Amino acid sequence: MNFKKETLFTALCLVLAIFADYSLFSGPVGISYSVFLAVFYTFFFTSFRRTTFHHKQISGLVFFSILALTLAFAIYSNSLFNGLNFLLVPILVFVHIVLLTNSSPIKWYRSEFIMILFEKVGQMMKCSVVMFTYQSRKIKRRMTDSTYQTGKRIGLGVLLSMPLLFVVTVLLSSADQEFARILMLIPEKLFSLELDIVWTAVKVILLTVGFICFFKVIKKKSEVESYEFYGKKDREWDGIVLSTILLFINLVYLLFVAVQFQYFFSGSLQEGFSYAEYARRGFFELVLVTMINYIILLCTLTFHRQKSRLINGLLTFLITFSVIMLSSAFMRLMLYEKAYGFTTSRILAHAFMIYLFVAFAFTLVKVWAPQLSLARFYILFSILFYVGLNMINIDLIIVTNNIERYEQTEKLDVEYLTNLSYSAIPPLVELHHRDPEIQELEDMLLMKKKYLSEEEGRWQSFNVSRERAKTALEKLE
């Protein structure tokens, strides 16, 4: 009975691997990612239907994030996020299933849970090595000693003949061009017919082994001992030394902000500075805030556990000055965008600064309420923030703001807009109808229309933004 169950389990993993290759690795990914995840989770919940699940609240949030990120493949077509999500979703699925199946009382936001994840990865690698070793030994046992020795000799003969064959082939090819041409056609025909099949077989085998090892390892109970990070007294920083350091740092920031406060928020350029220099100086301050101030904050909260109103007050001032400099960098970037337009990197820079604003705000709460967990907040907020970035359709924001800027300044970087995803096409078609004199825009849209009309239609690649782009371009003459 166990043999039948094992055979059925292996067969199902093989089917899952074939479907994974067909859905995710046979062309551009669209709705197929969501379909594969649905099949995968159906297999998982069916196999573990008698298992008691744990950590349901955080695992529910992770599952929601997985669902949103996979749906983004079918709704949007941003190449940056698609590339990141293609790698991130399997990691989140791994974390989600470990959360559900792990009965350890260790909290998910503690470092011990990360140790459990690494332990599972190590167990999967060991499992795969054991499987390949077992299969190789099984094949060797089925062969007689004489057959095994004959195979070794044939392999040695092939290796020794390679240098001689190479020299002879080069000489004959030089002597006869027709022979050289025919010789070059052989690998071309061979690889065009068989290389895809071989590569597909390799992928399916690796995926099958991966699924088998994953589901076997996930059933095992992980035991990682909890430890108290703050238990040693030698990790505690001296309060007087720390207060002195924070005091001097805050005095420097106070002087810096007082001298340049009008410069920060004037909304105009200082004499002798270009827009590019103005923005770069703002980002230097942003880097300064993230690399120095935030490290000081985290180290202080980590290595000084004693309650002190003086230190809490100094940390509050440090956060205040950091937020002021972040606001300056935010405004400089807005000024830069008005001059040179909106791009993905600039929108993401805005998003990163918003992320830091929220992080600083929670850290300020942590300063006065030490019982709160920073790690728990950072993990939850980071997941939700990243999912939010995927959902807001950055390319549509970029093209909309650039069109508004064009209507004010008559400046439009069509070359950059060409590299955006399909989400940018409908607004650009509307702009072309309103202002058909932009020749570069018309050429770009006609090029996109030709590409979409020639693109192969596969169900795996179905994408809402591409379908909307096709519909919009059909109205283009």
Of the three residues 392, 412, 431, the one that is the final residue of a domain is 392
Residue 143 reports pLDDT greater than 70:
no
Is the domain of 368 the same as that of 442?
no
Q: What's the pLDDT at 264? A: 54
Return the residue matching tokens 């061979």.
190
Q: What's the pLDDT at 145? A: 62
Query: Residue 182 domain-assigned?
Result: no
Query: Residue 14 domain-assigned?
Result: yes
Domain extent for 292:
233-392
Residue 448's pLDDT band (cuts 50, 70, 90)? confident
DSSP state of 235: G
Question: Helix or strand or coil: residue 392?
Answer: coil
Is the domain of 405 the same as that of 464?
yes
Is the domain of 25 the same as that of 150?
yes
pLDDT digits (tens, 9 = 90+) for 227-266: 444 444 456 777 788 888 888 888 888 887 776 665 555 5
Is the domain of 58 the same as that of 196?
yes
Dihedral, 301, 305, 306, 312 alpha carbons, nearest 10: 10
CA atoms within 13 A on the CB side of 223: 0
Is the domain of 83 the same as that of 17?
yes
Q: What's the pLDDT at 336? A: 80
Domain count, the chain: 3
**Distance from C-alpha of 3 to C-alpha of 290, rounded to nearest angstrom:** 57
Is the domain of 312 the same as that of 342?
yes
pLDDT digits (tens, 9 = 90+) for 175-210: 666 666 666 666 655 555 456 677 788 888 889 999
